[in-house]
Structures are given as C-alpha cells and as structure tokens.
Amino acid sequence: MALIFRTDAARAAAWGEAFKRQMPALDLRMWDEPGEIADIEFALVWKPPRGVLRTFANLKAIFSIGAGVDHLFSDPELPEGVPVVRMVEPELTRGMTEYIVLHVLRHHRRQREMEANQRAEKWEMISVPTAPSRKVGVMGLGELGGAAALALTALEFDVAGWSRSPKEFPGVECFHGDFGMDAFLARTEILICLLPLTAETEGILNAELFAKLPKGASLINAARGGHQVEEDILAALDRGQLSETTLDVFREEPLPAGHPCWRHPRVTITPHNASLTDPDGAVRQVIENIQRIRRGEPPSNIVDSKAGY
C-alpha cells in the first residue's frame, strides 16, 4: 500500500514529516517519484496534472489537500468510481473564520477610508453603526461558511446565509435555492462568498448579482477566482454599486503584473492565503480515512460527484 502526494515544494517537507510522525509504516511517495504504479492505492493532491490520476489503476481514494475539490473535477479524465474526499480540518476552518471576521470588520468600520486619511494626514471623524445594525450575507453554508456565519453572529452582526439546499444555523436567517437568492441579496450590505466552485456557481459574482445588492454594498470573496467576473467587479466599484471589495482569489493566479485590481483604490488583495491546511491535522484525517477503507468502510467527507462538493 502506497500513498502518493502532490503539494507545493515549500510545504512538501512539512507534510512528509507529519506522515512520518503519525504513520511511519506508510509507503509515502512524492509525485515526481511514484515508483511502482501498481502499489499506489491513495493520492493526496492539489491541482494534479490532467489525466495523471487515471494512470493509478489501483487507486482507492483521492484526498484533496484543500477544502475545495474543483481542481479535481475540472479533470475530464478523473477516474470513475474512486471516491474523492474533501478536506475538513479544524485549523483550515479556524483560519478562514479569522480571515472573514477580519475583513468584515474592516469593511464595517470603514478602515480603508481611515487609512487613506492617515496617508493624507487628514483628521476626520468617520461615523459607523454598531454590528447589530449591519446586515452581512454569507453565500455558501458548508463547513467554512457555516463557521464564519456563526462567528459573525457572536459579534452580533445581522447575519443571513444562502445555500443551494435548506440549512439551519442559530441566529442566522437562512435562504436557499434560486427563489431565495433575490431576497438574500436585497438585505445584504456586506456579501461574503464561500461557495464551492461548480458549473452552477461559475461566474456568479457578476453585474446582474451586484445590481440586486443595496447600492454601496461591499464584497469579500475567499472561495474561488472562478466565481467572479473581475471586469464586472471593477465596473461596479467605479459606478458606486459596490463600495469596496476584498479578494483572496482570482481567475489567474498569481495575479499578473498590470492587472487593474492591483492599483484600484477600493480593492484589497490577498494572495490566496485566507486559510491554509495544517499538515498535522490533515494527515490525521487522511490516516483515519485510510483505516476506514482498509476496514471496508466508506471514508468520511466523500464528495458528491454530481453536485461537485
């Protein structure tokens, strides 16, 4: 039994050490040194090249290193019948919650304007309401979105959530489906996108959606670059439909030099680091699922291949 894994070079050593500590007997193989292909039963990967996973004929499970799995389902040659397992890891969730709370507070407290005034040596009082008067909307109420929504309710924001299917969270006004979208958007002043990227959500952050928000609403996208139409975001900012935006993700990453988002005065950019998977916690989850499979049980957190999450 062997597991092959693929991650960025900077973090590969940390993952390898985590496996050695927790399952030293595991035959761990680097992506560029697979050895005997027939031995490989598990793959732990991030953005594997198209068609390669199909070459592992004895694969029993594919584990995503990150919370998203769109990087796997975008491969038309993904092996059929092999379960794809999403990453549900406490530190990943905690990191995303911290990111969302940080940027909601920045938008809510108009911190961008404060910083601009400091640069201009301008002393000006900027009045802001307290959290109960601010309506925040979270698109996507899965593991990450649900945790973020609950953290915001703890700060007493007026929180709503939207999801494809009905969800319930204490203190959160929940909307779902196409018929719930317009009402959700109409009451949202700070919009957070934590949706999975699927065929249905591709390009969802567009001009049509922004027009349904209150004028001057703001946007935080920490999900996937594929959700956003960047030209529409910039146009909405320039005409005042959006007041500001925080973007952790882009359609092209790294964001190329000269992209208009770099210098736009109302865009905050972070380099797709809202939350990073903790190797120790993630390896623990992978090992538990390997043991489940060896006992003849299905792994936890299997992705619905039809839904894409």
The domains of the chain, with CATH numbers, are 2-89+277-294 (3.40.50.720), 90-269 (3.40.50.720)
Average pLDDT over residues 20-46: 96
**Identity of the amino acid at 304:** D
Say yes or no to pLDDT of 10 above 90.
Answer: no
- Give the model confidence (pLDDT) of 87-120 as tens digits: 999 999 999 999 999 999 999 999 999 999 999 9
DSSP 50-86: TTSGGG-TT--EEEESSS--HHHHT-TTPPTTPPEE-
Give 193-223 pLDDT, tens digit per residue: 999 999 999 999 999 999 999 999 999 999 9
Residue type, position 109, single letter = R
Q: What is the mean pLDDT of residues 174-179?
A: 97
Point out which residues pair with 205 in neighbouring strands. Answer: 228
| pLDDT of 9 | 85
As a whole number, mean pLDDT of residues 294-303 equals: 96
Angle at 263 between CA 257 and CA 266, to 5 degrees: 140
Q: Of all residues in the chain, what percent carry a pLDDT higher than 90?
A: 96
Pairing of strands 267-269, 242-247: parallel
List, for residues 257-279, the tens digit of each pLDDT value. Answer: 999 999 999 999 999 999 999 99
pLDDT at 240 (0 to 100): 98
User: Contact, 217 vs 233, CB < 8 A?
Assistant: no
Distance CA 87, CA 302 (A): 9
Whether 229 contacts 203, CB under 8 Å: yes
Return the active site residues: 224, 272
The pLDDT assigned to 306 comes to 87
Tell me the C-alpha distance between 42 and 61, whole Å: 5
Torsion sign across C-alpha atoms 123, 129, 131, 137:
negative
SS3 labels along 226-244 = HHECHHHHHHHHHCCCEEE
Calpha distance 260→237 (Å, rounded): 12
What's at 308, amino acid-wise?
G
For 135-166, write each residue's pLDDT tens digit.
999 999 999 999 999 999 999 999 999 999 99
